[in-house]
Structure 1
């Protein structure tokens, strides 16, 4: 017969939740940093084709 698992303590639950949140925070920070570097044109790892705006002038 199956036995129910023991309940996870609040501290373990909080630790796991904070780790999960921290991963999301760092992913968002990296994405924002990459977006800033692309928009300023200082990106060294991400290549974007530049379109010329001479036709619009």
Structure 2
């Protein structure tokens, strides 16, 4: 016969949710920072080849 599992405590549930939310916030912050650096042209960690895109749009 099946036996129900023990219930996870609220503190453990909240801790896991907080961890997941903080990871998502960190990734969003990094993505925004990278986007800002690309737009400003000061990015050293991201290489984009805009000249090819410009040539395709002009054709």
Q: Which consecutive aligned stretches of 4+ in structure 1 deviate over 2 angstroms post-superposition?
A: none
Q: Deviations over 1:5-38 (max 9, x none)?
A: 1000000000000000000000000000000000
Larger helix share, 1 or 2:
2
Instruction: Give 5+ residue unaligned stretches, structure 2.
Output: 55-59
**Alignment gaps of 5+ in structure 1:** 53-57
SS in 2 for 1:48: coil
Task: Give the TM-score taking structure 2 as reference length.
Answer: 0.80
TM-align CA RMSD? 1.6
Residue 47 (structure 1) aligned with residue 47 (structure 2): yes
Q: Which residue of 2 aligns with 1:16?
A: 16
